[in-house]
Structure 1
Amino acid sequence: MSLRRLLQSQGRILYAERGGVRRQGFKGSFPGFKMATITATPKSSLADEPLKIHVAGLEPSQLVTVQASLTDEKGVLFQARAFYWTDQRGQVDLTRDAAVGGDYSGVQPMGLFLLLKPERPFSRLMKREVMSSPYKVRLDVFDSFHLVSQLQEQSLASQTVERWYTAPGVQRVPVRHGRVRGALFLPAGQGPFPGVIDIFGGVGGLTEFRAALLANRGFATLALAYFAYEDLPSALGPIDLEYFEEAAEFLLKHPKVRGPRLGIVAICKGAEIALAMATYLTQIEATVCINGPNAVNGYPLYYRDLCIQPIPYKYERMLITEQGAVDLSNIFGDPQAELHRGSIIPVEKAQGKILFVVGEKDRNYNSKAFATEIMERMKKLGKTHCALLSYPGAGHLIEPPSSPFCYQSWLPHLSSPVVWGGEGQAHDAAQVHSWKEIQKFLHLHLGPTQSSRL
Structure 2
Amino acid sequence: MPMPQLTATPASALADEPVHIRATGLPPMQLVTLTASLKDERGNLFQSKAFYRANEAGELDLKQAPSLGGDYVGVHPMGLFWSLKSEKPFMRLLKKDVMNSPFSVTLDIYNSACIPELAMVQPGASQVVQRWFRRPGMQRVQIREGRLRGALFLPPGEGPFPGIIDLYGGTGGLLEFRASLLAAHGFAVLALAYFAYEDLPKLLVEVDMEYFEEAVNFLLAHPKIQGPGIGVLSLSKGAEIGLAMACFLKQVVATVCISGANAIFDFPFKYKDLVMLPIPSYMERTETDVSGALSLLHFRGDPRDKVNQQSVLPIEKAQGQILFIIGENDQSIKSKEHAKQALEQLKSHGRSNGRALVYPGAGHLIEPPYMPLCYASRSTSRFLMLLWGGDPAAHAAAQEHAWGEIQKFFRQHLTQTRSHL
TM class by smaller structure: over 0.9
Question: Who wins on radius of gyration, i.e. which is larger?
Answer: 1
Are 1:158 and 2:122 an aligned pair?
Answer: no
Q: Equivalent residues in 2 for 1:345-424 (5 A)? A: 345-424=313-392
- How many Å separate the matches in 2 of 1:82 and 1:98? 10
Deviations 1:330-378 (A, max 9, x none): 1110111111011000101001000000000000001011101111222
- Following TM superposition, where does structure 1 have runs of at least 4 consecutive aligned residues deviating by more than 6 angstroms? none
Aligned counterpart, 1:337: 305
- How many Å separate the matches in 2 of 1:226 and 1:305? 21
1:247 corresponds, among 186, 194, 215, to: 215
- How many Å separate the matches in 2 of 1:128 and 1:315? 33
8 Å CA contact 1:171, 1:187 repeated in 2: yes
Matched letter for residue 420 of structure 1 = W
- How many Å separate the matches in 2 of 1:406 and 1:315? 23
- How many Å separate the matches in 2 of 1:277 and 1:100? 47
Q: How far does residue 153 in structure 1 lie from its aligned partner after superposition?
A: 5.7
Matched letter for residue 166 of structure 1 = R
8 Å CA contact 2:207, 2:270 repeated in 1: yes
Aligned counterpart, 1:316: 284
Aligned counterpart, 2:189: 221
1:134 corresponds, among 102, 117, 128, to: 102
Are 1:233 and 2:201 an aligned pair?
Answer: yes
Aligned counterpart, 2:61: 93
- How many Å separate the matches in 1 of 2:283 and 2:270? 23
Q: How far does residue 381 in structure 1 lie from its aligned partner after superposition?
A: 2.3
Deviations 1:401-452 (A, max 9, x none): 1421111111111112111001110010000000000000000000156664
Are 1:257 and 2:234 an aligned pair?
Answer: no
Matched letter for residue 66 of structure 2 = A
- How many Å separate the matches in 1 of 2:40 and 2:420? 29
Aligned counterpart, 2:169: 201
- How many Å separate the matches in 2 of 1:413 and 1:329? 17
Deviations 1:163-199 (A, max 9, x none): 0000001100000000000000000111000000000
Deviations 1:77-128 (A, max 9, x none): 1011111111011111001111111111111010100111111110010101
8 Å CA contact 1:198, 1:211 repeated in 2: yes
8 Å CA contact 1:251, 1:257 repeated in 2: yes
* SS of 1:398 mapped into structure 2: coil
- How many Å separate the matches in 2 of 1:246 and 1:153? 57
* SS of 1:413 mapped into structure 2: coil
2:270 corresponds, among 302, 311, 328, to: 302
Residues 213 and 152 of structure 1: is their aligned pair in 2 closer, same or farther, counting only changes over 3 Å? farther
- How many Å separate the matches in 1 of 2:389 and 2:24? 37
- How many Å separate the matches in 1 of 2:420 and 2:123? 40
1:189 corresponds, among 137, 144, 157, to: 157
- How many Å separate the matches in 2 of 1:50 and 1:221? 23
Matched letter for residue 57 of structure 1 = G
RMSD of Structure 2 on Structure 1 (CA)? 1.2
* SS of 1:189 mapped into structure 2: coil
Are 1:108 and 2:73 an aligned pair?
Answer: no
Q: Which runs of 5 or more residues in structure 2 are unaligned?
A: none
- How many Å separate the matches in 2 of 1:451 and 1:163? 25
- How many Å separate the matches in 2 of 1:200 and 1:360? 20
* SS of 1:277 mapped into structure 2: helix
Residues 374 and 188 of structure 1: is their aligned pair in 2 closer, same or farther, counting only changes over 3 Å? same
Are 1:54 and 2:27 an aligned pair?
Answer: no
Deviations 1:224-246 (A, max 9, x none): 00000011010111100000000
Q: How far does residue 70 in structure 1 lie from its aligned partner after superposition?
A: 0.3
Q: Which runs of 5 or more residues in structure 1 are unaligned?
A: 1-32
* SS of 1:196 mapped into structure 2: strand
2:6 corresponds, among 30, 38, 42, to: 38
Matched letter for residue 306 of structure 1 = L
8 Å CA contact 2:209, 2:271 repeated in 1: yes
- How many Å separate the matches in 1 of 2:22 and 2:322? 41
Aligned counterpart, 2:136: 168
- How many Å separate the matches in 2 of 1:442 and 1:345? 23
Q: How far does residue 321 in structure 1 lie from its aligned partner after superposition?
A: 2.1
- How many Å separate the matches in 2 of 1:54 and 1:451? 36
- How many Å separate the matches in 2 of 1:379 and 1:147? 55
- How many Å separate the matches in 1 of 2:381 and 2:420? 36
8 Å CA contact 1:218, 1:450 repeated in 2: no
- After TM superposition, the structure 1 stretch with the greater mean CA deviation from structure 2, 395-404 or 437-446, is 395-404
* SS of 1:106 mapped into structure 2: coil
Matched letter for residue 365 of structure 1 = I
8 Å CA contact 1:185, 1:221 repeated in 2: yes
Deviations 1:213-261 (A, max 9, x none): 0100110000000000011010111100000000110111111001011
- How many Å separate the matches in 2 of 1:86 and 1:388? 42
> How many residue pairs end up in the alignment?
420
Provide the TM-score with structure 2 as the length reference.
0.98
